[in-house]
Chains A and B, each alone.
Chain A
Amino acid sequence: MDKILRGRVWKFGDDISTDHIAPGRYFHLRTNLPELAKHVLEDADPEFPKKVKPGDIIVAGKNFGLGSSREHAPRIIKLAGVSCVIAKSFARIFYRNAFNIGLPLLIADTDKIDEGDELEVDLEKGIIKDLTKGITLESTPIPPFMMRLLEDGGIVEHIMKHGDFKVD
């Protein structure tokens, strides 16, 4: 896993739900994630699925990922090539699902970051540099167990590697 990420920002507001990310009307595509990923976040920004590029970073307001337990939501964000999501806060099931599938999330005050900014993110230190604005932001440290999940590549790989959960 890359611990230093660099990418361009897509900015979203507060309360982006799993219905914005993986709309219910595409329920039938849930067993076809590459197709579902073509609609990722389209109800929040119709341009996003068309223009997102590998390495891009999603930056949002509070309570990102609220709503249903659909793990398809973080999976298609990752499939679209997004390297990490930074938000003021995350809904709990989305938070858990993202680390389980190896998508890093950071919690930080995102007000000063704008769409199109270039960011450099140090996941381990939790430091976010906005290269466009020349400012540095600190994020809440990722808990050690979640960091281990990322290093292992997700919960499935974690279990395969350790034979069980390794929380200590």
Chain B
Amino acid sequence: MGKTMAEKIIGEHAGKEVKAGEIVVAKVDVAMVQDGTGPLSVQVLQKMGMERVFDRNNTILFLDHATPSPRKELSNAHKILREFSEKTGAYLSDVGEGVCHQRLVESWASPGQLIVGADSHTCTSGALGAFATGMGSTDVAIAFALGKVWLRVPETHRFYIHGEFPEGVYSKDLILHIIGTIGADGATYKAMEFYGPTIDRMSMESRFTITNMAIEAGAKTGMIAPDDITKRYLEEMGRGDKYREIKSDDDAEFEKEYEFDVSELEPTVSFPHTVDNTRTITEAKKMDIRIDQVYIGTCTNGRIEDLRVAAKILDGHKVNKKTRLIVIPASRRVYLQALREGLIEKFVEAGAAVESPGCGPCVGIHKGVLADGERVLSTQNRNFKGRMGNPNAEIYLGSPATAAATAIEGKIADPRDYL
């Protein structure tokens, strides 16, 4: 019997052959926390008398959720991480560097690695062929000190994706459609593995959008086997030497297999208050839903490819007077590239507020908290009640193209009308 990618990577890190269902202790290559979860990790390590890190270069403290800090309590939380960095040598990714998951794929994550992060969207790095998963502050604190974690080896659900995307339809629409089909708990505790001709042709950036949202189906991680596109991406990021092949064996045991044809897919929108509450843009448009705020950014869709698509649609248009548009590049690297390509100028000319790299309004504390009764359409990954800081507001999720079209019309709009 062959092995899945997840079993292979965990086995390599546990130093033995492993099978789905087993609980094992595995070494980690990269461990990270962010400003919302990290202070608790530091407190845990202080309590244990273990204020140390297993590898300075691969233990990272990201300031991204509340940057620049909007209030003194959060500045003090940042200070806890700054002091921990000084004391232990752990890398501090400071204000303006960007969202942890984007920074990880740019500078750390590599095929075959085991990555743990105190943030649920750590699964993003799985697009590079790593086993990357989100955990709590205490788990990651212990990983910082000991360089290992306990893990239950997950069963794998495999998703065969084929067909050509129609114009105006993107990987965001695909993953929203998949979650809408299998449900917000459709892959709880499982590894989701994506493969097939559509994935083979897909850019790394579009792949990250897919694996980023594996947690929204309850999965432990989302994975894509490394290939030439992965290799080129790593070379571009200056880590070409980190490329290696790793994939599931054909005779590995997959608990479930799915097939999705993207050629008939429409732009897709998640309605409040769960990600699996999806509708096609045709259905959504008929409902004539006024939108007060549009947000383009986040670890899901704040990459250069996303900004290019949005800027192209917005070019020559103005943001509707009844709405407001916030644009946030996911990292400093993305920001600089967008500046060089003139994209930021296009956003500003269209009437957008462009903010510095970070999580932005997705976390609900700053840079666009909604008023009672307001509606937002965002390119982020989740729309739970209260997520963006106000339980009396509604969050709709869509692609950067859908977001740009919506900003122009001030109501949920079809991006295909602008292509």
Contacts and interface: CB of A to CB of B under 8 A. Distances in A.
Contacts of B385: 17, 19-20, 43
A30 B34 CA distance: 12
Contacts of B365: 24-25, 27-28
Contacts of A156: 44, 47-48, 138, 142
Contacts of B37: 69-71
Nearest to A23: B386
Interface in B20-37: 23-25, 36-37
Interface residues of A, number: 41
Interface in B189-224: 189, 215, 218-220
B242 to A, nearest CB: 26
Nearest to A17: B384
A67 B388 CA distance: 13
Given A20-B385, A24-B386, A89 B185 contact: yes
A97 B136 contact: yes
Interface string B351-376: 00000000000011100010000000
Given A25-B386, A43-B385, A100-B138, A66 B218 contact: yes
B65 interface: yes
A1 interface: no
B334 to A, nearest CB: 23
A29 B117 CA distance: 21
B166 to A, nearest CB: 31
Contacts of B189: 92
Given A43-B391, A71-B136, A96-B136, A27 B185 contact: no
Contacts, number: 142
B384 A67 contact: yes
A30 B42 CA distance: 13
B294 to A, nearest CB: 19
A97 B184 contact: no
Interface in B38-65: 39-40, 44, 47-48, 65
B139 A24 contact: no
B247 interface: no
Interface in A113-168: 143, 145, 154-156, 159-160, 164-165, 167
Contact of B24 (A154, A159, A167): A167
B286 interface: no
Interface string A8-22: 000000010101100
A91 interface: yes
A66 B185 contact: yes
Contact of A31 (B80, B118, B184): B80
B340 interface: no
Contact of B150 (A43, A68, A160, A167): A167
A72 B40 contact: yes
Interface stretch (B5-13, B68-76, B233-241, B296-304): B68-76
Given A24-B365, A31-B80, A93-B136, A145 B142 contact: no
Contacts of A24: 363-365, 386-389
A28 B24 CA distance: 35
Contacts of B382: 67
Contacts of A167: 23-25, 150
Contacts of B363: 24, 27
B364 A100 contact: no
16 contacts: A15-B184, A24-B387, A27-B66, A27-B363, A28-B73, A29-B73, A69-B122, A91-B218, A92-B219, A92-B220, A100-B139, A145-B23, A145-B150, A159-B142, A165-B150, A167-B24
Interface of B: 23-25, 36-37, 39-40, 44, 47-48, 65-66, 71, 73-74, 76-77, 80, 117-120, 122, 134-139, 142, 146, 148, 150, 184-185, 188-189, 215, 218-220, 274, 363-365, 369, 382, 384-391
Given A25-B365, A43-B391, A92-B219, 4 more contacts: A19-B386, A89-B188, A101-B138, A156-B138
